[in-house]
Structure 1
Amino acid sequence: MAVWFPDGLDWPARAALLAFGGAAILWILTDLSAAYVAVAAAVSLVAVRAVEQRALIEGLGSKVVWLVIGTFVLGAAVEKSGLAGRLTALIAGRGTTVGGLMWRLTFGIVPLAFLIPSTSGRATVLLPLHRSLTEADDDPHLAKATGLLIPALIVISTICSLTGAGSHLVTVDLLERLSDRSIGFGQWMLWGLPFGLAACLITTFLVGRLFLDAETRTRRLAEIEAPSGPLSAEEWRTGAVVLAMLGLWLTEGYHPFGIATVAVVGAVILTMPVVGVLDWDDGVKAVNWGLVLFIAASLVLGRALISTGAAKWLIGSALSASGLHGDSPTVLILLGVTGIGLTAHLYMVSHTARVVALLPPLILLSDRLGLNPVAVAFLANAGMDYCLTLPVSSKALLIFQGDERPTWSSSDLLKLSAFLAPAYAALMVAAYYLFWSHVGLAL
C-alpha cells in the first residue's frame, strides 16, 4: 500500500512510508528487538537511496544521542557512589505506616526523572528497594501495591523533565526541524513538573484505595536497615556534579552550553581518574547502547518522513478525513490530541517509536490549522507518556513484572488503568485550561 497507493508521491516518500510502516508492524506484532527493527529500517532507506548515506551518521551525531550517553553515565555514578542507596533509605524511612510509605515513594521517585534518562534505568535502580520492602514485610497486599506503584510512578513522572525520557529529546529535535521552535529544559520543567506531580499524587491515591484496605494503610511498616553516617567523599563529589549539571540545564538560555554538552562534560568528570567515582570502562558499560542505536535510527526514520514529504502527505490525508479546520473549537482539538496520545501505547509499544510516528504529522497538522506547534508537541507527549494499560507498553512495568517474585498480574494493571486513564485525561484537560494555556501553551 505504501508503494502503490499514495498519489502524487515520488519514490523517496513512498520508501519512507514503506520503511516506517514495516517498522511499526514489526514493533507491534513481533518480539524482535525494537532497536534492531529501527536500525534495519534506517539502513533500508539508505540501501534504496531514499535518503543519503550521511543520514545515518547525522543520526548518531545528534545531540539527543550524546545527552542519553552522558545521563546514563550519570545514573551509574549516582548508584555506585552510594547516593542511590541513601535515597532508598530516605524514601523508606523509619517507623512510617504503609500509607505513609506510599506517599514517601511518590515524592522520592519524581526527582529521579531529572537524574536518570530512561524509565528502565529508574526501574533498575528502584527494584532493589521493592525487594527490600517485600523481604522486610511479607504482606502480599503491600508487595502488590508497591510493586504496581513504583513502576507506575516511574512512567507517570516522565513528563516532569526534558531528560525524563529519550523520546522527549527526539520531540525537541523534530520540533526544531519542522517549526524552528524549541523547548528548553527550564520550560519543560515549568510545564511538566506541576502536571506530573499532580498525576503522580492521583496515581498514589488510586493504588492505595484499589489494592490496600484501610487497616493495611494505617499499619506500621516493618523496620528496614538503612546506611548511616556522613556522606563519603565520593558521594559529595557526585552530588556536586549532579547539582552543577542541573543548574546548567535549568539556566540553558543564559550560557553557551547545550544540555547535551553539559551531560557529556559531567560524564567525563565523573569518570576522571582521582576526581571521578566511576571507571571509564564501567561508565561505558552502564550505557544502554541498544537504546542509543534505537534513538539514532528512529531519528533517521522521523527525518526521512519529513524530508521526503511523506509526513505532509499523511497529515493532509488525515486532515481531509477528520474534518478539522482552523475554526474548529479548541476543546475539540485538545481532546483529539489527548486521545491520540493516550491511546498510542496500545498499538505502539515503544515510547520513542510513538513520538517518531505521531509527532511529525501532528506538528504539520498544527501548521495547517494555525495552531501553536510547541503546545501541540508538548500536549502530545503528555498523552504519550501514559502507558500503563499493558505490561509490554513500558520497560519499567516489564522489569517489575519479570522479577524473581512477581507481585502483580496483567489484570491488576488493567484494573488500575481503568480508573487512572480517565483521571489522567481529565487532568490534562483541566491543566490546559487552568495552567498551560496561561503560561505559553495555548493552542
Structure 2
Amino acid sequence: MTHPSKRTLSAVGALAALCIAVTLPEGLDWPARAALLAFGGAAVFWTLTDLSGSYVAVAAALFLVAVRGVEQQALIDGLGSKVVWLVIGTFVLGAAVEKSGLAGRLTALVAGRGTTVGGLMWRLTLGIVPLAFLIPSTSGRATVLLPLYRGLTEADDDERVARAVGLLIPAVIVISTICSLTGAGSHLVAVDLLERLSDRTIGFGQWMLWGLPFGLAASLMTTFLVSRLFLDGEARARPIGEVDAPAGPLSPAEWRTGAVVAAMLGLWLTEGYHPFGIATVAVAGAVLLTMPGLGVLTWNEGVEAVNWSLVLFITASLVLGRALISTGAAKWLITSALGASGVDSGSSPLLVMLGLLALGMTAHLYMVSHTARVAALLPPLLLLSHRLGLNPLAVAFLANVGMDYCLTLPVSSKALLIFQDGDRPAFSSRDLLRLSAFLAPAYAALMVVAYLVFWSRIGLAL
C-alpha cells in the first residue's frame, strides 16, 4: 500500500484551508469567490505537488467554468488571444533558425578561435542575449544551447570550466529574458492584463528600449560573478580547445531564414507605423518559413516544434488572470492588502518601487511558474497602481523585471532544470545558491540604480 507523501498531505491541507478561507470575506459574490478558489488552488498545486504546471492551469480554468465563475466563452477567448498566436509563431521561428544552420553559425561565432576561457564567458553572454528576441521561452533557448555546451565541454576536459560554463548559460538565459517582449510568454500575459486593466500597452520597441540596456547590464554582471566565483585567474587565462564549426558561405536556407528573421524583427520594432501587430507578424513569418519551395521546415515540422504544453499553460493562465479582474476578486485582494499595509497615495514612489522589487524577486520561491507568477500577482498590482495614482506601465514593467529573476533554486526555471538533468549535471544546487547569494543583491541594486538614473527619466516614473 502506497502512503501519501508529506507534500501531498500539505497540498490537501492547504486546499482545505483555502476552501474555508474563501467563504469568510463579506461582500464577495460567488464568481469572485470561485476565481479566488481556482487561482489559489492552482497556486497550491503548482507549489506543493509535482503535477505538470500546464495540467494544473487547464484543470483550474475548467473548474472555474464548471462552477459558473466565468462563462464558457472565456476558454475560447483565451485560445484566440494574440499572445497564443505570437508564441506559436516564434516557436516555429526558433526551429527554423536551428534547422537552417544559423544556430550552428552562432556556436562557431561564440567559440571563436584561440579564445581563452575568460573570453569565452563574455562571448557566450553576448551570443545568448539576442536569442531572447528569437525564441520565446527560456526552456527553448536552453534546449538550443545545450548542444553548444556539450561541444564546448567535450573540447575542454577541465571540470571547473564545465561547471562555470554550464551555470553561466542558463543563468544568462534567465537574466536576459527582460531584454525582449518575446523573451518569455509571461511578458505577453503581462501586456494582455495591462491592456485590460488600464487601456495602456507596451509595444515591442518600447519594451526593448526599457529592457535591453538593463538585461544586457545584468547579464554582464552575471558573467563577471560566475567567472570570479567558479574560476581562478589561471583558469580564465587558459585557451579553450578547438570546437567543430561549419565552414563556407551561408547556405540558401540560411539566407532565406535570415531574411525572414530580419523582416520580422524590423516589423516588430516599427509596430505602430504599420497596421500589423506582433502576433500577425509572427504567424506570417511561421507561414513563410514552412512554405513549400521557400521555407526551411515542412508544415508538420513547424507544428511539432511548438511547445503545445506551454501554449495551453499560457491560455489557461490568461483565463485565470482575466477572471481575477472581471469578477472583482483582484480588486478585493488589493483593497484588503492596502488596508493591512497602510500604503496610501502619499507613499514615496521609491518605497513603492522597493516593494515591487521585493515582491517580484521573491515570488519564484513560492510559485515556480513564471507565467503563473505574472497572472497571479500583476492584476492586484495594477489595481494598486490605479488606487494610488501610479503609472500602470511602470508598475507592470518593474514587476516583470523583478519576477524575471529566478536563480535561487533549479526548480524555479526550466532552463536551469535542463542543464541540471542527466547523468552529468552541469552544476549543483549548492553552486546555484552560491551564485544567487551574490547575484540577487547585485540585481536588486541594479534595479534601483536603473530606476533612478534611466527608467524614471524615459516614461517609467511611478
TM-score range, shorter chain: over 0.9
> Which of 403, 408, 419 is equivalent to 1:400?
419
Task: State the partner residue of 1:327.
Answer: 346
8 Å CA contact 1:2–1:17 kept in 2: the answer is: no
Task: State the partner residue of 2:69.
Answer: 50
> Which of 167, 170, 175 is equivalent to 1:148?
167
Structure 2 gap ranges (5+) = 1-19
Other structure's SS at 1:186 match: helix
2:330 and 2:282 map into 1 onto residues whose CA distance is 32
Q: Aligned partner of 1:91: which letter?
A: V
Task: State the partner residue of 2:33.
Answer: 14
How many angstroms does 1:405 deviate by?
1.8
1:421 and 1:221 map into 2 onto residues whose CA distance is 30
Give yes or no for the alignment of 1:158 onto 2:177: yes
How many angstroms does 1:6 deviate by?
1.6
Q: Which moved more, 1:243-252 or 1:401-410?
A: 401-410
Task: State the partner residue of 1:347.
Answer: 366
1:20 and 1:251 map into 2 onto residues whose CA distance is 36
1:75 and 1:33 map into 2 onto residues whose CA distance is 24
8 Å CA contact 1:2–1:15 kept in 2: the answer is: no
Equivalence map 1:285-434=2 (5 Å) = 285-434=304-453
Other structure's SS at 1:252 match: coil
1:3 and 1:408 map into 2 onto residues whose CA distance is 42
How many angstroms does 1:387 deviate by?
0.3
2:207 and 2:25 map into 1 onto residues whose CA distance is 37
Give yes or no for the alignment of 1:132 onto 2:151: yes
Describe the superposition over 1:158-211 as per-residue Cα deviations: whole angstroms up to 9, x where unpaired.
000000000000000000000000000000000000000000010000000000
Other structure's SS at 1:138 match: coil
Task: State the partner residue of 1:195.
Answer: 214
1:308 and 1:109 map into 2 onto residues whose CA distance is 41
How many angstroms does 1:274 deviate by?
0.4
1:399 and 1:2 map into 2 onto residues whose CA distance is 37
Give yes or no for the alignment of 1:76 onto 2:76: no
Q: Aligned partner of 1:300: which letter?
A: V
1:144 and 1:306 map into 2 onto residues whose CA distance is 44
Task: State the partner residue of 1:122.
Answer: 141
2:355 and 2:34 map into 1 onto residues whose CA distance is 29
Q: Aligned partner of 2:306: which letter?
A: V
How many residue pairs end up in the alignment?
Answer: 443
8 Å CA contact 1:67–1:260 kept in 2: the answer is: yes
How many angstroms does 1:3 deviate by?
3.0
Task: State the partner residue of 2:124.
Answer: 105
How many angstroms does 1:90 deviate by?
0.6
2:248 and 2:21 map into 1 onto residues whose CA distance is 63
Structure 1 gap ranges (5+) = none
1:221 and 1:2 map into 2 onto residues whose CA distance is 58
Other structure's SS at 2:243 match: coil
Give yes or no for the alignment of 1:41 onto 2:60: yes
2:99 and 2:215 map into 1 onto residues whose CA distance is 28
Q: Aligned partner of 1:429: which letter?
A: V
How many angstroms does 1:408 deviate by?
1.1
1:229 and 1:130 map into 2 onto residues whose CA distance is 23
Task: State the partner residue of 1:215.
Answer: 234
Q: Aligned partner of 1:63: which letter?
A: K
Q: Aligned partner of 1:287: which letter?
A: V
Task: State the partner residue of 1:169.
Answer: 188
> Which of 93, 103, 115 is equivalent to 1:96?
115
1:419 and 1:7 map into 2 onto residues whose CA distance is 45
How many angstroms does 1:10 deviate by?
0.2
1:417 and 1:317 map into 2 onto residues whose CA distance is 33
How many angstroms does 1:312 deviate by?
0.2
Other structure's SS at 2:212 match: helix
> Which of 226, 231, 234 is equivalent to 2:253?
234
How many angstroms does 1:225 deviate by?
1.4
1:6 and 1:270 map into 2 onto residues whose CA distance is 53
Task: State the partner residue of 1:275.
Answer: 294
1:303 and 1:222 map into 2 onto residues whose CA distance is 52
> Which of 55, 67, 82 is equivalent to 1:63?
82
Describe the superposition over 1:360-382 as per-residue Cα deviations: whole angstroms up to 9, x where unpaired.
00000000110000000000000
Describe the superposition over 1:400-442 as per-residue Cα deviations: whole angstroms up to 9, x where unpaired.
0003421310000000000000000000000000000000000
Q: Aligned partner of 2:376: which letter?
A: A
Normalised by the length of structure 1, the TM-score is 0.99
> Which of 279, 289, 295 is equivalent to 1:260?
279
1:62 and 1:224 map into 2 onto residues whose CA distance is 43
> Which of 24, 31, 42 is equivalent to 1:23?
42
2:339 and 2:217 map into 1 onto residues whose CA distance is 36
Q: Aligned partner of 2:339: which letter?
A: S
Describe the superposition over 1:330-360 as per-residue Cα deviations: whole angstroms up to 9, x where unpaired.
2211100000000000000000000000000
Describe the superposition over 1:298-341 as per-residue Cα deviations: whole angstroms up to 9, x where unpaired.
00000000000000000001111111111111221110000000
Describe the superposition over 1:199-229 as per-residue Cα deviations: whole angstroms up to 9, x where unpaired.
0010000000000000000001111111110
Normalised by the length of structure 2, the TM-score is 0.95
1:356 and 1:195 map into 2 onto residues whose CA distance is 23
Q: Aligned partner of 2:59: which letter?
A: A
How many angstroms does 1:285 deviate by?
0.3
Other structure's SS at 2:272 match: helix
Q: Following superposition, which runs of at least 4 residues in structure 1 exceed 6 angstroms of deviation? A: none
How many angstroms does 1:2 deviate by?
4.2
Q: Aligned partner of 2:454: which letter?
A: F
1:406 and 1:16 map into 2 onto residues whose CA distance is 40
1:333 and 1:272 map into 2 onto residues whose CA distance is 50
Describe the superposition over 1:225-264 as per-residue Cα deviations: whole angstroms up to 9, x where unpaired.
1111000000000000000000000000100000000000
Residues 2 and 257 of structure 1: CA distance in aligned 2, closer, same or farther (over 3 Å): farther
